[in-house]
């Protein structure tokens, strides 16, 4: 095993970007407050000092404009990393990020690709209210041509970001503001990458598979811990990327446990969670002891009040309830 160092989630992302920028001059970072302010969430702190204003570029509050501009630059051969302060703000850039980036390769008959990374905070933060709490994986996973990455640990954040920057397709990299301060051991090394489309088994178990991605993986781990004390042993799978989706890993785990609970922080209707459920019902119909259970964010706009927001999100209690129900322990 290679050496590791302890890093905050935000610094793991920063290190990934910086290493790739040292390696490849075509890589640059742009977004609101990424340079002189050192990043609204300090993800890019220090990068302006190292790379200068030609490569770390402050943009005006103009998501549609700078997202489109970065896509044009990617078509010509640069490899831009674009920070959305929040993915909630990406909605005003819907046309460039959904109509241009993922379709350029296809509708140009393979002539113009779009090697670009869009990254920023996704999911509810701390009482940010309805407009700032989007989990955009629910919306964007519907669109072919995009890769969607949603890491849950600093090590994955770094390895997946490096893969994202080296990838030739548009990558949506979804970070969680709630996780940015989380510390973890991160492998040292320029070429330690995490592959897309490979789930990670966070905890082994025999009774029920819990599949999740991003921040809710931590709630799943808490739930698994609590359930183990009740004698229910859960296997926790962290998908890490939604497109590509490692459905094979879930399938293998379900064949072992015969039960599946999906935990997805986006709304349930037409979500990654519902897609996984559909695919697993199709693939593992005879292996399942119960129908696939899903824990989603409640089907309402994000509330502001603390207690309501806690109940709105997937949480440990709800996951435990779902697992007990799935395993007939309710």
Q: Which of 19, 20, 32, 63 is catalytic?
A: 63
**Least Cβ distance, residue 133 to other proteins (angstroms):** 24
247 binds other proteins (CB under 8 A): yes
C-alpha span between 222 and 24 (Å, rounded): 40
Q: Is 82 helix (H, G, I), strand (E, B) or coil?
A: strand
Q: Which is nearer to other proteins, 128 or 211 (CB)?
A: 211
- Is residue 160 a contact partner of residue 187, using CB atoms and an 8 Å limit? no
Which of 55, 67, 64 has its CA nearest to residue 92?
A: 64
Restricted to residues 138-177, the positions that interact with other proteins (CB under 8 A) are: 141, 144-145, 147, 163, 168-169
Among 4, 192, 197, 226, binds other proteins (CB under 8 A): 197
CA dihedral 242, 205, 186, 120 (to 10 degrees): 30
69 binds other proteins (CB under 8 A): yes
- The token duo for 130 is 């309805």
CA distances from 306 to 87, 222, 266, 311, 314 (A): 21, 20, 19, 9, 14
Whether 132 sits among the annotated catalytic residues: the reply is: yes
Strand 171-175 with 79-86, pairing: unpaired
Whether 296 sits among the annotated catalytic residues: the reply is: no
233 binds other proteins (CB under 8 A): no
Query: CB under 8 A: which stretch of 2-10, 71-79, 172-180, 311-319 binds other proteins?
Result: 71-79
Q: Given the rule CB under 8 A, which residues bind other proteins?
A: 25-26, 28, 54-55, 57, 59-60, 62, 64-78, 95-96, 99-100, 104-113, 141, 144-145, 147, 163, 168-169, 193, 195-198, 242-248, 251-252, 272, 275, 279
């Amino acid at each position: 095993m290679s050496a590791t160092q302890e890093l905050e989630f935000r610094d793991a992302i920063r290190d990934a970007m910086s290493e790739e920028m040292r390696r490849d001059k075509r890589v640059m970072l742009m977004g609101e407050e990424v340079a002189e302010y050192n990043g609204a969430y300090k993800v890019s702190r220090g990068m302006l000092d190292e790379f200068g204003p030609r490569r770390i570029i402050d943009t005006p509050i103009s998501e549609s404009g700078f997202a489109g501009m970065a896509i044009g630059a990617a078509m010509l051969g640069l490899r831009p990393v674009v920070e959305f302060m929040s993915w909630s703000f990406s909605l005003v850039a819907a046309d460039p990020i959904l109509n241009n980036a993922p379709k350029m390769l296809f509708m140009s008959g393979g002539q113009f690709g779009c090697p670009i990374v869009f990254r920023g905070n996704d999911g509810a933060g701390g009482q940010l209210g309805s407009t700032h709490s989007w989990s955009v994986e629910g919306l964007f996973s519907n669109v072919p041509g995009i890769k969607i990455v949603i890491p849950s640990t600093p090590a994955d954040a770094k390895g997946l970001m490096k893969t994202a920057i080296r990838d030739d397709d548009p990558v949506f990299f979804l970070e969680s503001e709630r996780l940015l301060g989380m510390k973890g051991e991160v492998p040292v090394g320029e070429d330690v990458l995490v592959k897309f489309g490979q789930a990670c088994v966070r905890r082994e178990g025999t009774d029920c598979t819990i599949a999740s991605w991003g921040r809710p993986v931590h709630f799943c781990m808490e739930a698994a811990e609590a359930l183990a004390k009740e004698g229910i042993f859960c296997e926790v799978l962290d998908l890490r990327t939604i497109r590509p989706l490692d459905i094979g890993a879930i399938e293998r785990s379900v064949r072992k446990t015969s039960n599946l609970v999906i935990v997805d922080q986006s709304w349930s209707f037409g979500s990654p969670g519902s897609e996984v459920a559909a695919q697993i019902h199709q693939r593992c119909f005879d292996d399942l002891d119960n129908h696939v259970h899903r824990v989603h964010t409640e089907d309402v706009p994000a509330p502001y009040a603390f207690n309501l927001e806690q109940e709105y999100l997937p949480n440990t209690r709800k996951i435990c309830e779902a697992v007990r129900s799935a395993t007939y322990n309710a």
